[in-house]
Amino acid sequence: MIKELEKISLEIEKDLKDLDIPQLKKKYLSKDGTLQKLFKNIKDVKPNQKAEYGKTLNTLKVIIEEKINDSQREKSEVEDNKKIDSTAPFDINSSKEKRPHILDLKGSSHPLMQELDKMLDIFQRMGFNILESRQIDDDFHMFESLNFPKGHPARDMYDTFWTEEGFVLPAHTSTMQNRALRRFGPPPIRVVLPGRCFRNEATDASHEHTFYQIEGIYVDKGVSMGHMQAVIKEYLSQYLETELEVKMQPAYFPFTEPDIEFVIGCPFCKKVGCCVCGYTGWIELMGCGMIHPNVLSSGGIDPQEYSGFAWGVGLDRLTLIRKGIKDIRKLRDGDINFLRQF
Ligand SMILES: [Zn+2]
């Protein structure tokens, strides 16, 4: 009996080369195929040979099944490769083995949006409303409502894009202050205004023509600089997940008075000096200040009765800091290998 198996094993070796899959299945694996017959014969094998006989027979069966599986896999791959979708993105048309990442890629939010969600979540818990800014606006909201009258030299601080019809791509999210004051007034008004901003800038590792800003305003009776410092410090501590040392230094914006630059002790080097803080130990993070009375009036709020503060912070800059990204342009160049890291 064992001799018979040896003979069949040689035959199988030859057939694996010569026969196609249906022929192999029929000859060896079907109900009345060779292997089934041999399995039935096991009762006639001498007791001391039964174990070896069964083992050899099983091995032969596995060899044939593997050959059939391999061949079917190859066939389906060839079929797959024939179906080319010329509109599909990335390397979707290449074979499955060559694109494991694409198969794994179930979609994820952009690192900027991940950070935005985190920030908005903090502000919502602090009781702020959210209103998204516009991506095209007018002269009134970009300048006049913010205390930049026509011809004001501070307009030159903003290298904005204008359309032929006289609309402007917002250079900051402060364009939304007037709308927010009117929409959420009368005070108390607590609102954050995230949105895309645009500047006519030459780009490099730390400058982009397009970026996100998050504006915030808080208006009520008796609001002071102390409230501003507390709110911004609390927000940044929660966002950067560490206790912060802060200082406020003078700045200039037409729409706030006084105007402040909010500076934090570098949380990465504990003020010793590192590449994130430019080896100064401090990071200038955002502009802020008490909202100018003219801006409140233009939003329908009486500056004699109410006061408030506003701030604007760049989301891209914070994202670079939090995620350890060295080049701001990576956030928008659509490099899937880069984005996949987050
Ligand atoms: Zn540092």
Q: What is the 283 CA–ligand 1 centroid distance (Å)?
A: 8
Q: Is 83 exposed, middle or buried (0-12, 13-18, 19+ CB in 10 A)?
A: exposed
Q: What is the 286 CA–ligand 1 centroid distance (Å)?
A: 17
**Mean pLDDT score, 67-90:** 71
Return the exposure string of 129-153: e unless at least 16 CB atoms fall within 10 Å of the residue's CB, then b. eebebbeebbbebbbbbbbbeeeee
Cα separation, 229 vs 260, whole angstroms: 10
β-partners of residue 259 are 289
**Mean pLDDT score, 41-58:** 84
Per residue in 140-191, pLDDT (tens digit) is 999 999 999 888 888 888 878 999 998 999 999 999 999 999 999 899 999 9
Q: What is the 270 CA–ligand 1 centroid distance (Å)?
A: 6
Q: What is the 287 CA–ligand 1 centroid distance (Å)?
A: 20
pLDDT at 94: 62
Contacts (Cβ under 8 Å, ≥6 apart) of 291:
177, 217, 219, 255, 256, 307, 308, 309, 310
Name the more confident of 288 and 153.
Answer: 288
Q: What is the 64 CA–ligand 1 centroid distance (Å)?
A: 65
**Across 71-85, 205-219, 258-272, least confident range:** 71-85
Q: Please, what are the domains in the chain?
A: 2-102 (no CATH), 111-339 (3.30.930.10)
Q: What is the 113 CA–ligand 1 centroid distance (Å)?
A: 25
Query: pLDDT band at 203, cuts 50/70/90?
Result: confident
Q: What is the 192 CA–ligand 1 centroid distance (Å)?
A: 28
Q: What is the 278 CA–ligand 1 centroid distance (Å)?
A: 7
Per residue in 98-107, pLDDT (tens digit) is 555 544 556 7
